[in-house]
Amino acid sequence: MRTSFPCPSPDQPALPAVDAIVVGASAGGVEALLKIFRTLPKGYRLPIVAVLHVPDQRRSHLAEVFAMSVAMPVKEADDKETIAPGTLYFAAPGYHLSVENDFSLSLSQEERVHHSRPSIDVLFESAADAYGKRLAGVLLTGASSDGARGTAKIKEYGGLTVVQDPAQALVRTMPEAALALHTPDFLLPLPDIGSLLVELERIAC
């Protein structure tokens, strides 16, 4: 487990090439996600799929809010939509969001997971199934244990896992729950997570 990025040592191992990034956040997540996604340059080519826990409501304005601050195109994920490169997708409130094996997105109203729908575990586990080792998962601040199992599964399937350093998270419950279940590749503060996502894209594209 590495705790900074870029690493200070010159013999830093190369990051793996991934095809997609999944991100999960709960309490304190809006600010954390804005900090990370703001660092991504215009023309960023990896797709990013995000679950942010929000109160159940019919329509969410997350995509609009982020579109104002993020250089890449942002949208709420539609059912059966094929994941497009360079797009940031948000899960719609009230529905789980999954990645299918043909790299399309699907919605469902199965029971809540850790009191949440959308659930980070549901997104992460289905994305691990679809992408295997060509996936990076990022778990951030939150007052829930959602995402711990999903992050562990990404790791188990050979993907890259990144957990926000609990000491620097607004709410440390969620990153700590993930650490209790598995040892991520990186335990990082937000600015380093941004740099890592930039580097992941440079390698992959």
Partner 1 sequence: MHQERDADIELRLLIEAIYLKYSYDFRDYSGASVKRRVAHALRQFELKTISALQERVLHDPSAFMQLLQFLTIPVSEMFRDPTHFLAIREEVVPLLKTYPSVKVWIAGCSTGEEVYSMAILLREEGLLDRTIIYATDINPNSLEKAKQGIFSMENMRAYNENYIKAGGKRLFSEYYTAAYDYAIFDKTLRENVTFADHSLATDSVFSETQLISCRNVLIYFNKKLQDRAFGLFHESLCHRGFLVLGSKETLDFSGYKNQFDPLVKLERIYRKS
- Active-site residues, by number, are 26, 53, 146
Q: How far is the CB of 54 from partner 1 (least distance, A)?
A: 15
Beta pairing class for 186-188 and 20-25: unpaired
Single out the residue of 64, 55, 86 nearest to residue 73, CA to CA.
86
Position 56 contacts partner 1 (CB under 8 A) = no
Q: How far is the CB of 10 from partner 1 (least distance, A)?
A: 32
Task: Name residues whose C-beta falls within 8 Å of residue 161's C-beta, 6 or more positions apart in sequence.
Answer: 136, 137, 138, 139, 151, 154, 155, 182, 184, 185, 186
Position 80 contacts partner 1 (CB under 8 A) = yes
HSE-CB of 76 using CA atoms within 13 angstroms: 15
Residues in the chain: 205
Position 9 contacts partner 1 (CB under 8 A) = no
CA distance linking residue 179 with residue 145, whole number of Å: 11
Position 115 contacts partner 1 (CB under 8 A) = no
- Rounded to a whole number of angstroms, the distance between the first and last alpha carbons of the chain is 25
Position 107 contacts partner 1 (CB under 8 A) = yes
Q: Is the Cβ of residue 96 or residue 114 nearer to partner 1 in the bound state?
A: 96
Q: Which of 19, 81, 176, 199 binds partner 1 (CB under 8 A)?
A: 81
Piece of 1-9, 42-50, 123-131, 188-196 that binds partner 1 (CB under 8 A):
123-131
Q: Which of 122, 177, 190, 204 binds partner 1 (CB under 8 A)?
A: 122
Q: Is the Cβ of residue 53 or residue 96 nearer to partner 1 in the bound state?
A: 96
By the 8 A CB rule, do 88 and 37 touch? Answer: yes
For the segment 147-166, give every residue that binds partner 1 (CB under 8 A): 157-158
CA distance linking residue 115 with residue 103, whole number of Å: 26
Position 133 contacts partner 1 (CB under 8 A) = yes
- Residues forming contacts to partner 1 in the complex (CB under 8 A) are 58, 78-81, 92, 95-96, 98-101, 104, 106-111, 122, 125-126, 129-130, 132-133, 157-158
